[in-house]
Amino acid sequence: MAGGSSIDVLGQFELHSVFGGLGDALHFSQSPVYMMLAVVLVLAFLYFGMRPAAVVPGRFQAAAEVCYEFIRNMAIDTIGPEGASFFPFIFTLFFFILAGNYLGLLPFSYTFTSHIAVTFALAMMVFVLTVVVSLKVQGIRFFAHFMPAGASLALAPLLIPIEILSFLSRPVSLSIRLFANMVAGHVMFEIFASFVIMLAGFGVVGDVFAIGPIAINVALVALELLVGVLQAYVFAILTCIYLREAVAH
């Protein structure tokens, strides 16, 4: 990807159609392939993990149960008793994003969460859900939230637009956070990997100095493993917080 002395850091995010002519005709790129792979992996993990259904779980079943209970507790602790009905949605969201982030860390793979189109679609899904739930639970009183309690009426023309804009900025910040973190991580990988290739052109001295960028990349993999789970968690917990506000009377 690094051609000669120039570093092409964004080439890794380009979409190409896969599966030959059929893929070309359908505009079927790597992104949906990896999405399907993520879905299949998560489903397989839960299906094969829970298949023994043992009272005393084995390692695999224990892992599946820990994942289930972790998200379930998060949903119910954050949203309240109503959280149980949103738990499947939050579970799906968390593990879809987590699988996407981690699949992207494999060599030669592709990170679908590094595209704003994908993360914004996920965030809009959350946003529309919260608005629908708010309108259903609170009815017309939902709009009263746009006027801060206790503020003077003279300030209303200024405060209400700001509150509305603040509310509308939620899906944007939700999607930008995930997308920016993923892009930044993968760009850093590419930059340090390119340094190694460039240094290889300088003979023995370059070979010695190339240890530096390689060591940094190894550390970056550890950081990206943390960022991947952290961003999935942040996305899920913010969804929970928005839903808690929606179901509050």
Partner 1 sequence: MSEDKNDSFLSRLKAAERRSGLKTEDDTKESADDKDGQSLATLALRAGTEMISALIVGVCIGWGLDKWLHTRAIFLIIFALLGGGAGVLNVWRLVKPPPV
Residues in touch with partner 1 (CB under 8 A): 158, 161-163, 165-166, 168-169, 172-173, 176-177, 180-181, 230, 234
- Closest to 212 in 3D by CA, of 198, 189, 191, 196: 196
134 vs 181 by CB, closer to partner 1: 181
Least distance from partner 1 to the Cβ atom of residue 180, Å: 7
Least distance from partner 1 to the Cβ atom of residue 104, Å: 19
Least distance from partner 1 to the Cβ atom of residue 50, Å: 28
43 vs 184 by CB, closer to partner 1: 184
85 vs 173 by CB, closer to partner 1: 173
119 vs 194 by CB, closer to partner 1: 119
Least distance from partner 1 to the Cβ atom of residue 134, Å: 17
In one-letter notation, the amino acid at residue 65 is E
The residue written with tokens 């100095």 in the block is 209
84 vs 184 by CB, closer to partner 1: 184
Least distance from partner 1 to the Cβ atom of residue 165, Å: 4
